[in-house]
Structure 1
Amino acid sequence: MIAEEFLSIAGLALRHHRGADSVTVTAVEPSPHGPLVRWSAPLLAVERERRADGPTTFLGPVPGPVLLTLLARVLACRWRDGAPRCPPDWAERLARRHRDVFGQGCFECGPGWRWLWEGAAELLQERGVPAGFRTSQAKEKFGSIRWYYDCSDDYEYTQSLVDGVELLSAYICEECGRPGRIRQGGWLRCLCPEHAGNRRIAGGA
């Protein structure tokens, strides 16, 4: 189940990355974080591309290995306590557990993205929360996450992690955390087939 979720989400999130077809799951192993997917992707670029345009430098897509590491941790969090469930007070619990990342916490989104926030917070804390880091807004917009933050350090890993959360959220159901797609029909929302009802996949999602 976990391996299938990993490959389903990764396949969509990486579909514009060269070398995405080299992604395989080698194992799902117990870990302190939960059941952790071990993966291999020998053809994915490790470094984030940069393109200079005068004084401005534009960053390319989030490196595939960053996305896969984040996704593996997200799914470990999701399956940590057995069958996934999200308590009604998930946002308060998450903010208390990761105060240095989310502050007082004000998550304007559904419970299915709880594990995305949690996995990213754990990885950021393990790497070291940058000086002055403060989440100013954590919300849904146009069917995916928008994570706005302030930071006094220019820390590329932090930006890649935040960008990775925003990208993966477009393929994870906002209601339950299963693989999903952004769907139209009223507000755009990322939903799995079970929660989609009659909503159709949005063009290009």
Structure 2
Amino acid sequence: MTDMSVIHLTDEARQIVGAAFEGDPACRDVIVLPGKWDESEGLIDLFITVPTGPAVHPTGAWMPQRQDVVELVRRVINARSRRWDHARLRPHALPEDWWTPVRNEYEFLRAGAEFASGWIDLLIGMSGWLNEHYDGHWTTSQTKEKFGGLRVYSDRGDERSEEIITAAEWLSEFLCEDCGAPGRLRKRGGWYRTVCDAHAQEGGFE
């Protein structure tokens, strides 16, 4: 069971990284290899190789540092693996108050969650990374979905904290807001959401 779980989660990481760097010519040969399964820590040591430096978008749009994206993908997949159902090859269902344990764990997360629970692993990955740089002097004022992506409003701390938050906001457009699986930004009329193929069909998104 664990071997299949590692394969499935590695494939999810590969899809997310591939979509995130699709327009970056330097990342055409990204390598994503399985990590190892630790019974207490989940999937760790996921191997992803990309060139260093800022990602390059063909239209010139802003993109975060490639290594920041890779590190955040590793953290997201690790968070996802820690609530993994090996029999069904998907995360266990979340409780209704899924946001409360996350907010209780990280002092700076004072705002409520104005988005669907599929982004929980992204929030955990981002928050765990921020916690390594947290100086105790700032908090979030709002975490919400806007134009299909995550937005985290805060009186941010140092430059590194801001880079981590903006990388998480950017990566949210490749993770389904409903279930956390690989997804993309889609449109239905004037409404934008980032969803996977299954939830796009369910919600009528293009």
- With the length of structure 2 as denominator, give the TM-score of the two structures: 0.81
Q: 2:186 maps to which residue?
A: 183
Tell me whether 1:195 sits opposite 2:199 in the alignment. yes
5+ residue gaps, structure 2, are 1-7, 86-90
- Kindly state the Cα deviation for residue 60 of structure 1 after the two structures are TM-superposed: 5.2
Listed one character per residue, the Cα deviations across residues 79-98 of structure 1 (whole Å, up to 9, x for unaligned) are 21322132211111211121
5+ residue gaps, structure 1, are 50-58
Contact 1:25/1:37 (<8 A) preserved: no
Tell me whether 1:156 sits opposite 2:159 in the alignment. yes
Tell me whether 1:38 sits opposite 2:57 in the alignment. no
Give the number of equivalent residue pairs: 186
Q: 1:167 to 1:37 in 2, by over 3 A?
A: farther
Tell me whether 1:12 sits opposite 2:19 in the alignment. yes
- Kindly state the Cα deviation for residue 75 of structure 1 after the two structures are TM-superposed: 1.1
| Identity rate, percent | 27
Q: 1:55 maps to which residue?
A: none
- Specify the SS of the correspondent of 2:42: coil
Tell me whether 1:129 sits opposite 2:134 in the alignment. yes
Tell me whether 1:166 sits opposite 2:174 in the alignment. no
Q: 1:66 maps to which residue?
A: 68
- Specify the SS of the correspondent of 2:134: coil
- Kindly state the Cα deviation for residue 163 of structure 1 after the two structures are TM-superposed: 1.1
Contact 2:150/2:172 (<8 A) preserved: yes
- With the length of structure 1 as denominator, give the TM-score of the two structures: 0.81
The runs of at least 4 consecutive aligned structure 1 residues that moved more than 4 Å come to none
Q: 1:138 maps to which residue?
A: 143
- Specify the SS of the correspondent of 2:95: coil
- For residues 46 and 84 of structure 2, what CA distance do their matches in structure 1 show? 19
Listed one character per residue, the Cα deviations across residues 65-119 of structure 1 (whole Å, up to 9, x for unaligned) are 1111111111111121322132211111211121x2202x301000000111011
Contact 2:54/2:63 (<8 A) preserved: no
Q: 1:33 to 1:135 in 2, by over 3 A?
A: farther
Q: Give matches, 1:21-100, under 5 Å.
A: 21-31=28-38, 33-36=41-44, 38-42=46-50, 44-46=51-53, 61-83=63-85, 84=91, 85-98=93-106, 100=107
- For residues 101 and 35 of structure 2, what CA distance do their matches in structure 1 show? 27
- Specify the SS of the correspondent of 1:22: coil
Report the residue type matching 1:8 in the other structure.
Q
Which deviates the most, 5-14 or 183-192?
183-192
- Specify the SS of the correspondent of 1:124: helix
- Kindly state the Cα deviation for residue 18 of structure 1 after the two structures are TM-superposed: 4.5
Listed one character per residue, the Cα deviations across residues 40-68 of structure 1 (whole Å, up to 9, x for unaligned) are 425x224689xxxxxxxxx9521111111
Report the residue type matching 2:152 in the other structure.
W
Tell me whether 1:114 sits opposite 2:117 in the alignment. no
- Specify the SS of the correspondent of 1:101: coil
